[in-house]
Each structure stands twice: as structure tokens, then as C-alpha cells.
Structure 1
Amino acid sequence: MTFESGRTELSSPLQASVSADLAAGLLDTVLSSLDDSKAEDLITLDIAGKSSLADHMVIVSGRSHRHVGAIADHLLKDLKSAGLKSATVEGQSTCDWVLIDAGDVIVHIFRPEVRGFYNLEKMWAPDTDEAPQYIG
């Protein structure tokens, strides 16, 4: 962004590195919470170059509706404890597929059957030939 006065951009490398550090800390919080909740088949995708929505996408499975809901609840509590109060949640009423948008990290929590049907790993993988595929 430049101004009419000819000043240079406001974002500096220092701001970019701080943002990357915050995203890495957020990802660590998410992964730790998912591990504590016994989430299964965890895959982390770096989507920074593919989408402006987020830097990372995390995809996990829960064993049942109840487990998916418990994973989501635990993750939301941990995000709030870490200082993120603006996470957006979708699908928590049915717990087939819960999406949690935590800003730089998007988390998908699936029941295995639903995860196999949508196969997000293949859609978002860096190279479609080497895409991890969920076989549940």
C-alpha cells in the first residue's frame, strides 16, 4: 500500500515475521489440543501459497459424533485460553463435520465416513500426484 506522498509500504519484514510467529504458535496450540483430545489421522497442510484464507489447514477424524463434538469443544476452549476469542465454528450441531476457522489455521474435524467422502487432503495437497488420501 502506498500513499500519495510517495511513502513506501507500511508492512515491513518485521511485521511479516511477527505474523508468521503468531501463526506458528497458533498451529502449535491447535496440534497440542487435538493430540490431547485423541483426534485420529491428523494431517497438516500448508496452504499459504494456495489460498488467502489461511496459512495452514488441519484435518482430523473423530471416532463418532460424540468424539467429534468433544474434540471441537476442547479445541475451542484451548484457543480461548491462548487468547484467540474470535474463532468461527460451523457444523457443531450435527458433529459429522465441524469446521473451526481460527484465522491463520482452519481445522476440519470429521467422522471417518464423511472425511472419506469429501477427501479434502486430495483437493488441497501441494501436488495431486503425491496427495495424501484418506482411506477410512
Structure 2
Amino acid sequence: MTTIPSAQGDVTVGDVLTTSRTYTVDEVREFRRLSDPAAAAADVSHLPYLLVVAPLTKLGGDLNYLSGHMVWTVSRPVAVTETVTAELEITRLTPAGNGTKIAFEARIRCGDEVVVSGQSRGIVLSA
């Protein structure tokens, strides 16, 4: 059985990594100001898409993951007051040269509702 290290401990096929985040209105305003000053005064009732999926990038960073392919489906906008929980379920690990090929199913949940789902595959680099 192939395992790889992560910030959450060693993981293998079938494991699910999770992390959650709730953003404040001030954080969303600051993100908008930094990313597009012209949009800084825009409505802050919903999260920008990049903030919704940011917890997934945190999980990828925990694995030292480099993406080769991603496909995502978004079902609805996320309100600023909602907590987003990212889940990364490992579906494949295959040793390969200087790393391990990986595939996973990913979800962003708000409560029990999946608001973003997708798949990705790439490589986890060896230390």
C-alpha cells in the first residue's frame, strides 16, 4: 500500500483530508481591494470563487501537490457568513520517479450541502 506524507500525517488511498474556514466581511473586502481595486466597493455578501476554493489549495499544499488536471462544478454562490469545509478524498497513489502520482475527488461543503465538486490529478513531489 502506497502512502505519502502530509501535514495531517501519512495518507493513503481512501483517506479524506479536511479543513474549514469562515471568512469575515473585512477579509473579503481586503481580498477584493488587493485583487481588483476597482471592485473593492463591490457587494461583499458572497465570497469570490477564489476564496471558496482556497481551503482546497491549503490541502494541496499540505501534500506538496502539483496539479496536472482539474475539473470543477459549482452549484451555487457561498455567502460570506457560511463556513466552507474542503474535503480531498484520495482515489489513487502510484509511485513515479521523483514523486507519487495522485488523483482525488474534492468537495467544498457548506454544512451538509456540496457547493463545489471536482476531480484532480497530478503529482506529489518527494522531499
Q: TM-score, normalised by structure 1?
A: 0.27
Higher-RCO chain (CA-CA 8 Å, sequence separation at least 6): 2
Q: TM-score, normalised by structure 2?
A: 0.29
Relative to total residues, which structure has the larger helix share, 1 or 2? Answer: 1
